[in-house]
Structure 1
Amino acid sequence: MRHKKDFIPAMGYDWLTGFYDLGIKLFMPEKKFRTRLIDELQPASGETILEFGFGTGQNLILVHERNAQTTLNGVDIDPKVKAIADHKINKLGYHLPLDLYDGKTFPYGNNSFDKVFSSLVFHQLDTASKQSCLKEIYRVLKPGGILVIGDWGKARSGLMRFAFYAVQLTDGFKITNDSVKGLLPLYIDQAGFKDVTESGYINTTIGSYSYYRARK
């Protein structure tokens, strides 16, 4: 059996995981940033879509509610957030399969998905893990498939840079340094994606949340 790679929990510490949804509501413009994420994804009927790092399941729920004619899957490394997400999804009566993985290889074949999206995951990965996960996303996307990422980007002002220290204190300065430098688009490009763009951003109380799109 493969050894599961160490990971940073959703709020930096395992004991805070249960407060993740509350933290998002308190510190993020939740409806605004999630709606924009799904607008960027543009879920279409008949598409197969994967969320990398499904967390507590809220994004998958909203994508399903936007278009129930998509086939959705989620993959994450953290069994604690999976339990939270399973509870929320089952309570709503939705069928949204959630899978755990070992931090290395996704449990899907090559060219499996039309689109892959992710939110607030990559800033918690070290550089090597970012690169490895982007290669896995590239592998499981179909040719011409779309990648959409929402995550912390380079601060748009001195105030946003100061605000982002709150995230760095929780998730670690070394891990989040790539976000400070705005390096995620470079890593997406290096993984083989085309048409890499930052399509927009939203300033929040804890930093600048950016949207990235790319194509396999």
Structure 2
Amino acid sequence: MTTEKFIPALGYDFLTEYYDLAIKITMPEKKFRNKLIDIVNPKVDEKILEFGFGTAQNIIILKQRFPKCDVLGVDIDPKVKSIAEYKLNKAGIQVPLFLYDGKELPFEDNSFDKVYSSLVFHQLDNLTKLKCLLEINRILKPNGEIIIGDWGKAKTKWMRFSFYLVQLLDGFKTTNDNVNGLMTKYISDAKFKEVNEIDYINTSIGTYCYYKAKK
């Protein structure tokens, strides 16, 4: 299996182990993660996927709040998968985690009721953004929902200025579309409907936005 090149958490592989600490320092973690889970709003009979599970912090919160929900995770980074598995085991939570090659998600068509993602798409170039969204569309059931939390258009001049720190780490090429407010366009181009930015939170390093759409 040939894996596409990817930008690790915090932009560099050697910084991955400090990702959780960086989030705690720079963002209102409890607030932005719980709001994401509020929007996902898992039901007992739904099958849910986190696209880009990272260190599994969202999955841990989701399973603690909704222990009966059926959630899986997929990511491209083997190093971050090891961290996620360690944290899940420590929390006593069992969730299947999958690696994929960055091209095709390892799931059948129409497999999931909801797919959610956080702080992933700003690390993808424009072509990869669209490819990933099309893959998510493929694996969602008809009328299934996609929920994305990620950096969006800055709501204030200070938010725009502070976001330069993220861009220095993750690269201007991949993050410019986010800060220019183009995520809704990419989601629409991937054949989703009812595409909206439904909420946002200003953080110390930029504006974190919530997007929602249906297949």
> TM-score, length-normalised on structure 2?
0.99
Residues 196-215 of structure 1 aligned to structure 2 (within 5 Å): 196-215=195-214
1:178-208 CA-partner distances (Å, limit 9, x unpaired): 0121101001011111100101100000000
Alignment of 1:10-159 (within 5 A): 10-159=9-158
How much has 1:65 moved relative to structure 2?
A: 1.2
Whichever residue aligns with residue 83 of structure 1, its letter is: S
1:20 is paired with a residue whose SS is helix
Question: How far does residue 174 in structure 1 lie from its aligned partner after superposition?
Answer: 1.2
Deviation at 1:90, TM superposition (A): 1.0
| Aligned 8 A contact 1:46 1:69 in 2 | no
C-alpha separation in 2, matches of 1:83 and 1:41: 25
Other structure's SS at 1:11 match:
helix
Identical-pair percentage: 60
Cα distance in 2, alignment partners of residues 39 and 114 from structure 1: 16
Deviations 1:28-61 (A, max 9, x none): 0000000110011001112100000000001011
Normalised by the size of structure 1, how large is the TM-score? Answer: 0.98
Deviation at 1:140, TM superposition (A): 0.5
Letter in 1 for 2:187: I
Whole-Å Cα distance in 1 between the matches of residues 170 and 93 of structure 2? 32
Q: What amino acid is aligned across from residue 159 of structure 1 in structure 2?
A: W
What is the alpha-carbon distance in structure 2 between the residues aligned to residue 52 and residue 119 of structure 1?
Answer: 8
Q: Secondary structure of 1:73's partner?
A: strand
How many aligned residue pairs are there?
215
Q: Distance in 1 between matches of 2:68 and 2:87?
A: 20
Measured in 1, the distance between the counterparts of 2:135 and 2:154 equals 28
Contact 1:113 1:141 survives alignment (8 Å): yes
Query: What is the Cα deviation at residue 210 of structure 1?
Result: 0.2
Pairing 1:176–2:212 present? no
Deviations along 1:61-95, one digit per CA (max 9) or x if unpaired, are: 11111112211100000000000000000112211
1:140 and 1:54 map into 2 onto residues whose CA distance is 17
Gapped runs of 5+ residues in structure 1?
none
Secondary structure of the 1:94 match is coil
- Pairwise CA RMSD of aligned residues? 0.6
Q: Which amino acid aligns with 1:133?
A: C
Given residue 126 of structure 2, which amino acid in structure 1 is its aligned partner?
T
